[in-house]
Amino acid sequence: MSTRSSRKLITFDWAMKRLLRSKANFEILEGFLSELLGEDILILEILESASNKESKRDKSNRVDLKVKNSKGELVIIEVQFDRELDYLQRILYGTSRVITEHQKESEAYATLVKVISVNILYFDLGHGTDYIYHGTTTFMGIHDHDKLELDTRQQKLYGKIQINNIFPEYYLIRINNFNRLATTSLDEWIYFLKNEEIKDEFKAKGIQKAKKSFSLLSLPENEQLAYARYQDDLRYEASLVESNYGLGRMEGKEEGISEGIQQGIEKGIEQGIEKVKLEVAKRLVASGMSAEQAAEMAGVPVALLRLP
């Protein structure tokens, strides 16, 4: 029988800010990445950059972390709460920047670092029914429809087997689309990300350590207060976004109604004027004037006067 965690757990984004940077907690991050990437991940270090350094000016609706694994790959993990229409372009820019940051001018292109972008999204991005999407780069033949492969010399030079192992990879985890029981070890992590709950029977790598380490009550009092302020900031920013979005829709609707009423009035007046002109023209014809002359004088098409 499923049992609910008795502890109140901090969110993954807060853990990224405060806990997961510690080597003592690498096991948690390794477990999550291992389940997501489908291979055993060993983290060597947390790398700092302009995008993940903490400061008082940090925006609380976005948290990211950059780690280096034992294969020399760089993994960017980002949690994003607010809507961004250009989010896909931003993560493309982010991976490109990381590649250039870690490439020395004198180094050959063969030494370019492999980057994996993991994005945990709490807003709706694009159209799709799945809750995890994986993007890679492959080259397909236009005529023969075959997949381009590395030859043996390239494999030795790059230290890669497949072409897609060279280019950045992207994982989009759409939390809002996860509405099911945790049936796989990866689902257990997604379940936690959505519900802030880790059940006793969960067996995914690193998740039970996360349950213990993410307990709010185990944090020092000052950390508990900082976490409460962080949650308040998130709720405030979410309220601002939704309020502005709702206000924009309301104003647009009111503007549309107002414009519709005004257009209706203008159209009614125009139709009334045309009706009066037509009546005048008909009276002129009835008094003996030709249809052409009456139409010209009243300012209406002569064809209207010839209708039965």
Strand, coil or helix: 65? strand
Beta strand spans in 90-235 (E): 115-121, 132-135, 169-174
pLDDT score for 59 = 47
How big is the CA angle at 8 (ends 6 and 66), to the nearest 5 degrees? Answer: 130
Which tens digits make up the pLDDT trace of 253-305?
Answer: 566 666 666 666 666 667 767 777 777 777 777 767 777 777 777 777 877 77
Confidence of residue 4 (pLDDT cuts 50, 70, 90): very low
Residue 55 CA: distances (Å) to CA of 52, 59, 60, 238: 9, 9, 11, 20
**Per-residue pLDDT at 3 exceeds 60:** no
End-to-end CA distance of the chain: 84
With pLDDT > 70 as the criterion, what percentage of the chain qualifies? 80
Average pLDDT over residues 90-117: 89
Q: What angle do CA 295, 300, 306 make, to 5 degrees?
A: 65
User: Residue 1 has what pLDDT?
Assistant: 41
pTM of the model: 0.71
Q: What's the pLDDT band for 56 if we cut at 50, 70, 90?
A: very low
Instruction: Note the residue count of the chain.
Output: 308
Residue from 165, 168, 162, 167 nearest 147 by CA: 162
Residue pair 30/210 in contact by the 8 Å Cβ criterion: no
Backbone CA torsion sign across 203, 208, 211, 214: negative
Residue 5's pLDDT is what? 44
